[in-house]
Amino acid sequence: MQNDVLRIWLSMPGVLCCAGNNAASFFDAAACGSQHGIHPITAGNFLAGRIADGDLPSGYLPQENRTFRIAAAALEQIRGTVEQARAACGSSRIGVCVGSCDNGSEGSLSAHKAYCSTGSFPADYDLRFQSASFTAEYIARSLAVSGPAFTLATACASSAGAIIHAAQLIRAGLCDAVIAGGADIASETALLGFASLEAVSDSVSNPFSKNRRGITLGEGAAFFVLSKEPLGGADGSGIELLGYGESADAFHMTAPRADGSGAIRAMREALSKAGKKPNDVDYVNLHGTGTVLNDGMEAAAMAAVFSECAPLVSSTKPITGHTLGAAGALELALCWMALAEGKGRAPLHCWDGVPDGELPPLHFVRKENGAFKENGAQKLRICMSNSFAFGGCNTSLIVGREG
């Protein structure tokens, strides 16, 4: 049990997505069910959760690398916490773990278009920006830390995996603190790729509905500082990573195993490491992409793990879009805020309210059910966040509030 060993604390996250430009505004949007950030885009007949250009920094980053710019905006919000960690631990004891699926695709497309028209690449084009490792290298340089730095690319579980690996670096004694999270973009490459799989909805995603039609993509970033001691003062103390689980289906390149066995293993491992039982969990942020296969698998897995209880659940992808490699960290940020706020609010489940009779029922957070207070308590104490990715990469994170 992880409770018998070193505790891992999570700072207040830095967040940017179409639903909010910091953790507080993002959580308010999710708790109200606001879908104001989902708009049509020009690359085909798609909707996507795009971040307004005015929310992105400029001037000192490659303008073509949107992933870096989104990450920079989120990281700036936790710069003070990083400085606190640097003063306490030293730069060499602070690592970086970042999850992302995009390796500079916008810069690559722009450069290759220039090459096709002029016969040469732009003078400022650097192939290093497309390296999977460069996002972590950029973050380490921008925040002046020199511990181990990793980029993880496990599809839509990337940033959840980054948080797990950050905790493992601390437990292994290799770091005293780690900057961990993810950033990703709704690039033209990603949109067309998902469209080729016939997985993109022509309306906002409608998870677990009988009428669900597929994914709505989005972009965003969320980063935490994980540490052996709480950081960030009153705003950042008291939330810890209690447990985590990972599994690998190796079943199919894109489809999940229909019986949910991989997801079940990840959730049960997370509960075991946390030393918790299913009925200890107050709220679960579902992966909930709105595809027939994912929702069917996840509903079956939830029914197996939580067979004797019914935690409140929601998918927040209709609010943010599916932010791919950033999704795990972004959704964990909602769990962090739900715990820290202490008002019993949980993110709403946004859908058309038409259940799929072929799926096991889930206890969705709705406006009319009073969020967590319906269960007879005033505060959430334990939250789970699930990320189930292409290639059978399954992760489950459990966070809890001290006291």
Range 59-76 average pLDDT? 81
pLDDT of 76 reads: 96
Confidence of residue 197 (pLDDT cuts 50, 70, 90): confident
| Strands lying side by side in the sheet with 38-41 | 38-41, 46-49, 217-218
pTM recorded for the entire structure? 0.92
Q: For residue range 359-386, what is the model confidence (pLDDT) as tens digits?
A: 999 999 998 654 555 444 557 899 999 9
Yes or no: say if 50 and 220 are a contact pair by the CB < 8 Å rule: no
- DSSP per-residue string spanning 227-289: ESS--SGGGTSSEEEEEEEEEE--S-SSPPPTT-HHHHHHHHHHHHHHT--GGG--EEE----
What confidence tier does 200 reach under pLDDT thresholds 50, 70, 90? confident
Distances in Å between the alpha carbon of 383 and those of 224, 310, 339, 379, 394?
Answer: 16, 13, 8, 11, 17
The set of catalytic residues is: 156, 287, 322
Instruction: Name the residue with higher pLDDT: 35 or 20.
Output: 20
**Confidence at residue 2, expressed as pLDDT on a 0 to 100 scale:** 46
For 248-278, what is each residue's pLDDT tens digit? 988 877 778 889 999 999 999 999 999 999 9
Give the model confidence (pLDDT) of 149-163 as tens digits. Answer: 999 989 899 999 999
* Those residues with Cβ within 8 angstroms of residue 12's Cβ, 6 or more apart along the chain or in another chain: 23, 78, 81, 224, 232, 235, 236, 336, 340
Choose the weakest-confidence range: 98-107, 204-213, 214-223. Answer: 98-107
Q: Binning pLDDT at 50, 70 and 90, where does residue 83 land?
A: very high
- Spatial distance between the Cα atoms of 51 and 185, rounded to a whole number of angstroms: 9
Q: Which of 373 and 105 is assigned the larger pLDDT? A: 105
The β-bridge partners of 283 are 312, 383
d(CA 298, CA 263): 7
pLDDT digits (tens, 9 = 90+) for 24-57: 999 999 999 998 888 877 656 778 898 988 888 8
**Amino acid in position 108:** S
Mean pLDDT over each residue of the chain, to the nearest integer: 88
Give the range among 109-113, 228-232, 366-370 with minimum mean pLDDT.
366-370
- Give burial (CB, 10 Å; 0-12/13-18/19+) of 340: buried
**207 neighbors 318 (Cβ within 8 angstroms):** yes
What 349-353 contacts at long range (C-beta under 8 Å, 24+ apart), as own/partner pairs, is 349/207, 349/208, 349/313, 349/314, 349/315, 350/33, 350/35, 350/204, 350/314, 350/315, 350/316, 350/318, 350/319, 351/206, 351/207, 351/208, 351/209, 351/212, 351/315, 351/318, 352/206, 352/209, 352/211, 353/209
Tell me the Ramachandran region of residue 289: left when phi exceeds 0, alpha when psi lies from -120 to 50, beta otherwise: alpha
pLDDT given at position 130: 72
